[in-house]
Each structure stands twice: as structure tokens, then as C-alpha cells.
Amino acid sequence: MSRALDRRRLVAMLVKETRQIVRDPSTFLIAFVMPLLLLFLLGYAVNLDTPRTRIGISPQDDSAAAQSLASAYRASRWFSVAEVGDVATLGNDMARQRIRGIVVIPVDFGRNAARGGGTIQVITDGSSPNMAAFVAAYARGVYAIWAGQRAADRDPGGRAVPAIATVDRFWFNPALTSRYFLVPGSIAVVMTIIGTLLTALVVAREWERGTLEAIMATPLGMGEFIATKVIPYFLLGLGSMALCTLLAVTVFQVPLRGSPLALLAIAASFLFPALGQGLLISAATRNQFVASQVALLSAFLPTMLLSGFLFEIASMPAWVRPVTYLVPARYLIPQLQTVFVAGDDWSLFLPDMAVLIGFGLLFFALALRATRRRIA
């Protein structure tokens, strides 16, 4: 089999592969319909913005201070006071998940508040740790704001105001909208599945259809063979990325503060290892069903669990964190989040792109060896 690169032969095989893609509706379903479904599911189902949480208040004191504090909770943007009653009744409501927390105002609250003190009790549901932490933190925050305002009202001269105050500022995402970083992460998941799954079916399909024997009889070199299998799907992957970006900006209202050039470079650098991984799986399995399952298990699950998309890598066990360096999406998600909400930062992009290209070279080298071993 000739190893020389022949441009005419390469173009002919690219045309053949393109026609095969056009005749196969499943390719367009994977490249364009699946991204729509996944992006809508991940974009709307995964949401860390907590709405007004239903809580109960158990006022065991009828003083003016207790009533004022209860009113502060009712007026809070974070809480919706659903029930008022004794702790036992509210506890049953929390067990049935009708409410998410209980604020107990003790019997001596008014007397202690008049002396500048006063404490409350916040009861939360420990079976939902994240929600429990949210309710406890914001319940304490409402109380702190109420106590500070009450101290200021008692001391109009300002002596109760602390000399040093902190002012929080959140850059790039002032409203702390979780969609601004979840949607770019969802795009990374989509690109992982699309890039790996598309090529995972390529060589396996040739084996199943028996067309690989005909290719073996041609002077097509292995480099040309892999190029004809990768280039069309690379372009499809870029088209899928463009569709996801359009949806992110128009439907999910995520700002794109970076340049299209940076986004194109990021997408291209990630498609390189994704397509290489899919081609390696395809060459090693020879079966479309097995190839698709291996692609989903080796690409989708690590991207969801180990890339930092849903779970902070720093909070993972120490023995798991080194494994995350083997997941290509780990290097894609920070780039996408940066280019969308912050802008171009090539000092971040270039090292991660280099790692992704390194993954791609490794996957393509292994795919070339596996393919040569089987058809050369």
C-alpha cells in the first residue's frame, strides 16, 4: 500500500466520505439534533440559582423585637415564610419537605435584644446538605442585617457603625447567575459526546458493512485514510459548536465577551483529542454498538464527573484529583467559561490548548497503530 500523500486521491476519498455522511441521517442527528437536546436539558435542568426557599418560623416570644425579626424574614428575597407555629408542627412539615428550615425565636429574645444581645435557633434538614447549608447561611445573614439595622436605629449618631466595613464585588458575573458558567460547561459535555461518538462509529461501520476490504485494495495510505475519516467530522464538530454558541447567547442569554477567533481556536484544539479518541475506539472495537458504548463510558462520564463541570476538583478526594488531569474536558471547561464571561485570556488558553493537542497526538498515534495492525 502506497504511503505517499496524493492530493487527488485524498480529495476523492473526502468526497466519498462526505456523500456517505449526507446519505446517513444518523450523523446529522448526532451532530445537530443531539446537541440541541443535551444543551436544553443541561441548561435548564442543572441550575444552582436557588429561588425563594420556603421556611417556617416558630415565634416563642411576642415582643416587638421578635415581631420585627419575623417581618424581616418575610420581607427577605431569599425566603418565603410558609408556616408559623410550634417547632413540633413545623418539624413534621420539614419532614414532608413542605418547608426547608425552621427559625426559632426563643421566649427571652425581646429581653435580650433590648440589652443588645439575643440569639435565634435555625433548624435545617441534614438529609439535603447543600440546601441545609444555604438555609442556615442566609438565615444568619437576615438576622445579622436586622441586628445591624436595629443597632443603627438605637444609635443615630453612628457610634454603633463599625469603623471598617467590607463591600463585596463579583467580577464578570455580578448577579452570580449560575447559568453563566453551567452553559459553557454543558457545551463542553456536548462537544465531548459529539466529537468522540461521531468518529467512534466511522471505522467500525466500515468493518460491519464490509467496505474496509475494498479500501484495503486501494493504494490509500493510513495517513490519508485517517484524514478522510477525521476532516469531515471535524467540520461537523465546528458546526455543532457554532450551533451551541448561538443557543447559549440567544436562548440562555449567556454573554460572549471573548472573540470568535478565540472560541474557534478553543473548539479546534478540543476536537483534535475528541476525534482522536473516537477514532481509536472505532479502530479497536470494529462494532458500532460496542464503539458507541465505550465512547459514552470513556468520554461522557469522566466529563460529567471529573472535569470540574458539576463538582469542584479541589473538593474531590486526594487520590481522585490526579485522575482529572487525564480528562481532556478538564482543560476545555475553564477556557469556555473564560471566553464567555470574561473575554480573551491567551495566557490561560495557550497552555490548555497545548495539553489538548498533546492528547490529540497521542490518540491519533494509537489509532494509526491500531488501524495499521488490522488493515495494512
98: Cβ–Cβ under 8 A, 6 or more apart, which residues? 54, 82, 83
Let me know whether 34 and 67 are in one domain: no
Establish if 128 belongs to a structural domain: yes
Q: Which of 2, 17, 16 is nearest to 198 (CA)?
A: 17
Let me know whether 14 and 63 are in one domain: no
Phi-psi region of 308 (alpha: psi -120 to 50; beta: other; left: phi over 0): left
* Structure confidence by residue, pLDDT tens digits, 339-376: 999 889 999 899 999 999 999 999 999 988 877 644 44
Grid cell 468522540 is found at 196
Task: Kindly report the CATH number assigned to the domain that includes residue 118.
Answer: 3.40.1710.10
Parent domain of 204: 7-47+177-375
Let me know whether 286 and 345 are in one domain: yes
Let me know whether 224 and 356 are in one domain: yes
Let me know whether 58 and 16 are in one domain: no
Establish if 90 belongs to a structural domain: yes
Establish if 169 belongs to a structural domain: no
pLDDT of 375 reads 47
Let me know whether 279 and 233 are in one domain: yes
Let me know whether 309 and 365 are in one domain: yes
Let me know whether 319 and 230 are in one domain: yes
Q: Which of 99, 122, 154 is the last residue of a domain?
A: 154
Total domains, the chain: 2
Let me know whether 271 and 369 are in one domain: yes
Q: Which of 106, 123, 154 is the last residue of a domain?
A: 154
Let me know whether 141 and 98 are in one domain: yes
Establish if 270 belongs to a structural domain: yes
pLDDT of 163 reads 46
pLDDT of 168 reads 60
Let me know whether 208 and 346 are in one domain: yes
Residue 83: strand pairing partners: 56
pTM: predicted TM-score of the whole model, two decimal places: 0.76
Let me know whether 224 and 358 are in one domain: yes
Q: Which parts of the chain register pLDDT below 70?
A: 1-5, 47-51, 154-170, 175-176, 212-213, 216-217, 372-376
Give the long-range contacts of residues 129-132, CB within 8 A, separation 24 or more. 131/50, 131/53, 131/100, 132/100, 132/101
Extended beta strands in the chain, E state: 53-59, 79-84, 101-105, 121-124
